[in-house]
Structure 1
Amino acid sequence: MRKQVSRVFFLTVFFLVLLIVGASYLHITNGVFDMSIMEVLKTILRIESNPKFDLVIFEFRLPRIVIAALVGVGLGMAGVVLQGITRNGLADPGILGINAGAGAAVVIFMFFFQLRLVDADISSWASILMMPIFGFIGGTVAAAFIFSFALKQGRLDMQRLILTGIAINSGFGALSMFISLKMNSQDFESAAVWMAGSIYNANWIFVVAMLPWLILLGFYVYKKSYLLDYFQLEEDSITSLGIAVEKEKIKLLLASVGLVSACVSVSGSIGFIGLMAPHIAKQLVGIQHRYVMPVSALVGAALLIVADFIGKTIFAPSELAVGIVVSIIGIPYFLYLLVKSKA
């Protein structure tokens, strides 16, 4: 049985990697300026150097694909952690308000430091590297509010959790809008585009800013993923196994908030990836979290690369923010899960 699960897992990973490679191929070769795969390969491998191809690939399309993949990985893993901790299949960083908390902190940072993410360049690298820290503070504050109000007699009440998350989400969203309205017209435009969930302005500085968070915290939550299996049991049973339940939950929660904050700091608030990816992963490889975690990460990366490609091409030469594309897909999926959970 274990060999069969492992075989399914490796086959799933293989096909998801193929899907990501295929989506990346479409993304990098198509757009306002089309290129063939041979032209792309010759440029990347430095066989033929063409300034025009160098600009399009290395400055615009490749950083965008890498950011989409990294953000999808981070949100997919954070979604697994939150659903595992809360034992609620509807838990998601966006729905629970963690995205909004991190986003509000970054908007405040943008307001005081006058950082425009739409045209950020190497001169603002120090500010960009600081953004995940501010996002982490905002996300942690949001999570603290949510879980403190959702506690009932020392245990999480799932109905309170969702309702509190919706309220916190609305509150921090209103705060972000209020702060952005205090900005000048150019900074407001930048903040509005960013809050919609956009990665079209991605560059390599953003990759450097979020990569350490993703590597360290991603490795930590994967290493601790076996605990999420135990968290599905009754708390008395978990405690009898010698596991410090609340302590481990807080550690995993802070790690997931860090992942979400790093993602939000470079892409804005992109919802529903943390909701859809874990469910799709469980349908593909079962409920063991050591398999669900990496598959959810790959599903999140694939979803976001495909969504960004759709947003880039469907209204070309204009672009639709990837957060809007994901929401168009995610809202019906959320309603489907809600109906399914009631049934």
Structure 2
Amino acid sequence: MIQTELIRKQRIILVILFVLLLATVIISAGVGYSTLSFDRLIPTLLGNGTFKEEFVLFSVRLPRIIITILAGMALALSGAILQGITRNDLADPGIIGINSGAGVAISLFFLYFPIQPGSFVYLLPFVAFIGALLTAFFIYIMAYNRKVGLQPVRLVLVGVGFSMALSGLMIVLISSAERQKVDFIAKWIAGNIWGADWPFILALLPWLIVLIPFTFYKANKLNLLGLSEPVAVGVGVSIEKERIVLLLAAVALAASAVSVTGGIAFIGLMAPHIAKSLVGPRHQLFLPVAILIGGWLLLFADTIGRNVVEPNGIPAGVMVSLLGAPYFMYLLLKK
């Protein structure tokens, strides 16, 4: 049973994070290449703005803000699941190659398959999921040992190798593509939030609506999988079955996110760690915190990045990496 003090602490932290996220949304909506003064945000939101103000807010800023928050939440939850099922604090969909697998699938789809504009947006998450799933399957097989089961350290090493190999494959694909399509793939690799329009939100949202409640439902199983395998088996957990089901959920979350934001790593590494340090390792407690932290981290990185250098800014993936790479090195040395 979870202590009352921890539950109270979790609720206070969730409120603080929600306020922080809301404040960042307001700042992000008001700053940029086309300025929109903060005192005009509410009138414009209520439909009393000028044509320019409504265009900037509803066609440029809000879709990007929403898609960034949703993608950050998905990546954070994916990282939390991966860390739980592998018992490895270094697991992250970007680090272990899942994002790269999704990227290769999207690149092949974009370069070599006939694309209907109306269906392109909604097919992207499915295409990314197939690529990420194949990558996760091969990583899992190569990191698994029949005698000792899944080897967490080997999983990270194999995943890093896959990530580098698939990134190289994407460079090869770029070298043989048309200029316009090369620009798209280059933006994807850099983690530029390219899917910043309302249809992309509709393409991403169903995945989160299904998978977030599903992960909360499986929170206790994740707690048990974090224990040693004999203990988990002793309390009646079907380890391999639960791992595979939860791995599918983690892959789907990561693939759906990066299909519209590009190759963004480290959100799934940092958000669960920060959440655990705030409310402890119980998944029922830290998963909601990690989700809000992930959404805020990516929104914060994107807001800073697009305003550092105008008009194009710095891709959110690069900004996150500037924070995440030192954090990854710290964890690597610590573990």
TM-score per shorter chain, which class? over 0.9
C-alpha distance 58-114 of structure 1, shift in aligned 2 (>3 A): farther
Cα distance in 2 between the residues matched to 1:225 and 1:231: 10
Cα distance in 1 between the residues matched to 2:49 and 2:25: 21
C-alpha distance 67-255 of structure 1, shift in aligned 2 (>3 A): same
TM-superposed deviation, 1:225? 1.3
TM-superposed deviation, 1:175? 1.7
Post-superposition CA distance 1:136-160 (Å, at most 9, x none)? 1111111011110001225111221
Look up the match of 2:185: 191
Cα distance in 2 between the residues matched to 1:113 and 1:4: 55
Amino acid across the alignment from 1:314? V
Cα distance in 2 between the residues matched to 1:52 and 1:173: 40
TM-superposed deviation, 1:200? 4.8
Q: Does residue 1:288 correspond to 2:289, yes or no?
A: no
Q: Does residue 1:135 correspond to 2:146, yes or no?
A: no
* More moved, 151-160 vs 89-98: 151-160
Q: Does residue 1:279 correspond to 2:282, yes or no?
A: no
- TM-score, structure 2 normalization: 0.96
* More moved, 239-248 vs 12-21: 239-248
- 235, 239, 248: which one aligns with 1:245: 239
Look up the match of 1:206: 200
Q: Does residue 1:55 correspond to 2:48, yes or no?
A: no
- TM-score, structure 1 normalization: 0.94
Say whether the 8 Å CA contact 1:111–1:180 is kept in structure 2. Answer: no
* More moved, 212-221 vs 175-184: 175-184
Look up the match of 2:118: 125
Post-superposition CA distance 1:278-309 (Å, at most 9, x none)? 00000111111011111111000010010001
Say whether the 8 Å CA contact 1:196–1:323 is kept in structure 2. Answer: yes
Question: Where do residues 1-343 of structure 1 align in structure 2 (5 Å cutoff)?
Answer: 2-46=3-47, 48-113=48-113, 124-154=117-147, 155-341=149-335
Paired residue secondary structure (1:222): helix
Cα distance in 1 between the residues matched to 2:244 and 2:97: 17
Say whether the 8 Å CA contact 1:125–1:205 is kept in structure 2. Answer: no
Cα distance in 2 between the residues matched to 1:36 and 1:263: 30
Paired residue secondary structure (2:89): coil
Superposed CA RMSD in Å reads: 1.3
Amino acid across the alignment from 2:118? W
TM-superposed deviation, 1:317? 2.5
Cα distance in 2 between the residues matched to 1:143 and 1:314: 35
C-alpha distance 172-200 of structure 1, shift in aligned 2 (>3 A): closer
TM-superposed deviation, 1:36? 2.2
Number of residue pairs aligned between Structure 1 and Structure 2 = 333
TM-superposed deviation, 1:55? 0.8
Cα distance in 2 between the residues matched to 1:141 and 1:248: 18
Cα distance in 1 between the residues matched to 2:97 and 2:121: 23
Cα distance in 2 between the residues matched to 1:146 and 1:201: 28
TM-superposed deviation, 1:194? 1.6
Structure 1 residues not aligned, in runs of 5+: 116-122
Say whether the 8 Å CA contact 1:12–1:295 is kept in structure 2. Answer: yes
